[in-house]
């Protein structure tokens, strides 16, 4: 039996329950979870803004220690610290072969189930789905081998968990997706856990101005710790006008939307300079359509793109993020400011909604 946080129905709190977890099958690994991050992507399922098979154990930003391995597993062994990837790439599909392991076709086709289309979690006869094949809001999880990224020298579990989502998503959006050039100007709309990593990524590549945009003054002050050079409070005055004032009337060369709404996508698009790139990181409610000025897209040669998991390839890019942290280039120590037990998970999400700064993490003993 493992203790886990289960979503039975949208708009209901997560239920903390004991579930049965089957042994890992061929190509799978049993991981004792060490820490799990409080990311807004789980919240979208809880609010009903995103859809997943239910009931499900959520949690996709996690790290832990390998407990045992199923037949055929060769890349990890019991005792290894591993970061969990919520896209355990198959390595064989067209997207993987094209170098886009972050949008693996076979993973997306099987969603919150193992690759064989079954689940390891259940409660009696009721199958329980695994968010992102990770399901780390639980003491233990069975994950595909490809979803385990070994860490060569141990790092704190909460930091390792961050490298499971918000770090590659945010830093990767800058480095791998938008490919921000040194000296360019950057605006980041939404400065929560992921947005702060976009800011760190922009600092890493030597952007000249990094403009943090948020509706909360506390988030903006906190963003300065991570490399923001200017702040814009979107609840005071039109954020597009404010960003233009800070960029000689042109707008920022690279803008990032990191909240997940049509309004913020529109704002990020409008505050982007001529020949600039707008990168959408936030996940808007299912079915949402963002209005953009179609003529500006052409006449101003703007590029509008999305980024999933920061276009990162977990198996090679997560170890890079670990190295960047160990060499002091990513300030992840200041990122995780709140620690909770699994029993406190609903409180952890309420704190996120209330706009508590930085990232929260569930810690397992």
Which residues contact ligand NAD by CB under 6 A? 39-41, 44, 165, 169, 189-195, 213-216, 219, 234, 258-260, 263-264, 281-283, 307-309, 352, 355
Rounded to the nearest whole angstrom, what is the least distance from the CB of residue 4 to Zn ion in the complex?
18
Residue closer to Zn ion, measured from CB, 49 or 253 = 49
- DSSP string for 100-144: -GGG-HHHHHHTTS-TTS--SEEETTEEEEEGGGT--SBSEEEEE
Cβ neighbour number for residue 107 with a 10 Å cutoff = 25
Choose the contact partner of 201 out of ligand NAD, Zn ion, none; CB within 5 to 8 A by kind. Answer: none
Residue 284 to residue 301: CA distance in whole angstroms: 24
Residue 47 to residue 211: CA distance in whole angstroms: 29
Q: Which residues contact 29 (CB under 8 A, 6 or more apart)?
A: 66, 68, 69, 70, 73, 76, 82, 142, 143, 144, 145, 147, 148
Choose the contact partner of 145 out of ligand NAD, Zn ion, none; CB within 5 to 8 A by kind. Answer: none
Residue 201 to residue 203: CA distance in whole angstroms: 5
In a 10 Å sphere around its CB, with 0-12 CB exposed, 13-18 middle and 19+ buried, how is residue 65 labelled? middle
Q: Which residues bind Zn ion (CB under 5 A)?
A: 39, 41, 61, 89-90, 93, 96, 104, 106, 165
CB 217 within 8 A of CB 228: no
Rounded to the nearest whole angstrom, what is the least distance from the CB of residue 263 to ligand NAD in the complex?
6
Rounded to the nearest whole angstrom, what is the least distance from the CB of residue 52 to ligand NAD in the complex?
13
Sign of CA dihedral 72, 77, 78, 80: negative
Residue 297 to residue 255: CA distance in whole angstroms: 14
Q: Which residues contact 132 (CB under 8 A, 6 or more apart)?
A: 60, 86, 87, 112
Choose the contact partner of 90 out of Zn ion, ligand NAD, none; CB within 5 to 8 A by kind. Answer: Zn ion
The residues annotated as belonging to the active site are: 39, 41, 44, 60, 165
Residue closer to ligand NAD, measured from CB, 34 or 193 = 193
Residue closer to Zn ion, measured from CB, 55 or 193 = 193
Rounded to the nearest whole angstrom, what is the least distance from the CB of residue 104 to Zn ion in the complex?
3
Residue 114 to residue 134: CA distance in whole angstroms: 10
Rounded to the nearest whole angstrom, what is the least distance from the CB of residue 188 to ligand NAD in the complex?
9
CB 210 within 8 A of CB 228: yes
Choose the contact partner of 93 out of Zn ion, ligand NAD, none; CB within 5 to 8 A by kind. Answer: Zn ion
Choose the contact partner of 193 out of ligand NAD, Zn ion, none; CB within 5 to 8 A by kind. Answer: ligand NAD
Rounded to the nearest whole angstrom, what is the least distance from the CB of residue 251 to ligand NAD in the complex?
16
Instruction: Name the residue with the smallest CB distance to ligand NAD.
Output: 192
Residue closer to ligand NAD, measured from CB, 191 or 210 = 191
Residue closer to ligand NAD, measured from CB, 55 or 358 = 358
Choose the contact partner of 258 out of ligand NAD, Zn ion, none; CB within 5 to 8 A by kind. Answer: ligand NAD
CB 193 within 8 A of CB 166: yes
Residue closer to ligand NAD, measured from CB, 28 or 214 = 214
């Amino acid at each position: 039996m493992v203790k886990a946080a289960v979503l039975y129905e949208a708009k209901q709190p997560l239920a903390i329950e004991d579930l049965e977890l089957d042994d890992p099958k061929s190509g799978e690994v049993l991981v004792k979870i060490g820490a799990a991050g409080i990311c807004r992507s789980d919240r979208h399922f809880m609010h009903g803004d995103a859809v997943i098979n239910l009931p499900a154990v959520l949690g996709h930003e996690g790290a832990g220690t390998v407990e045992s391995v199923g037949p055929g597993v060769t890349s990890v062994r019991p005792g290894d610290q591993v970061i969990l990837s919520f896209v355990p790439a198959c390595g064989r599909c067209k997207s993987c072969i094209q170098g886009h392991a972050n949008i693996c076709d076979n993973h997306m086709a099987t969603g919150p189930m193992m690759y064989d289309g079954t689940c390891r979690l259940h409660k009696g006869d009721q199958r329980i789905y695994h968010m992102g094949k990770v399901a780390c809001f639980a003491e233990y999880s069975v994950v595909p081998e490809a979803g385990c990224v070994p860490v060569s020298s141990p790092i704190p579990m909460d930091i390792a968990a961050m490298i499971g989502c918000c770090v590659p998503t945010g830093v990767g959006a800058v480095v791998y997706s938008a490919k921000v050039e040194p000296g360019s100007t950057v605006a980041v709309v939404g400065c929560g856990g992921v947005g702060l990593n976009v800011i760190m990524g922009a600092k890493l590549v030597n952007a000249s101005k990094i403009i943090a945009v948020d509706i909360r003054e506390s988030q903006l002050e906190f963003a300065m710790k991570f490399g923001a050079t200017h702040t814009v409070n979107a609840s005071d005055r039109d954020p597009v006008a404010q960003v233009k004032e800070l960029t000689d009337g042109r707008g920022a060369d690279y803008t990032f939307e990191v909240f997940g709404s049509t309004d913020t996508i529109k704002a990020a698009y409008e505050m982007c300079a001529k020949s600039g790139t707008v990168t959408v990181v936030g996940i808007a409610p299912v079915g949402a359509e963002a209005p953009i000025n179609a003529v500006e897209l052409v006449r101003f040669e703007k590029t509008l793109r999305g980024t999933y998991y920061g276009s990162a390839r977990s198996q090679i890019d997560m170890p890079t993020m670990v190295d960047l942290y160990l060499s002091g280039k990513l300030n992840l120590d200041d990122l995780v400011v709140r620690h909770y037990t699994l029993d406190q998970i609903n409180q952890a999400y309420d704190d996120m909604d209330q706009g508590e700064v930085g990232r929260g993490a569930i810690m397992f003993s």
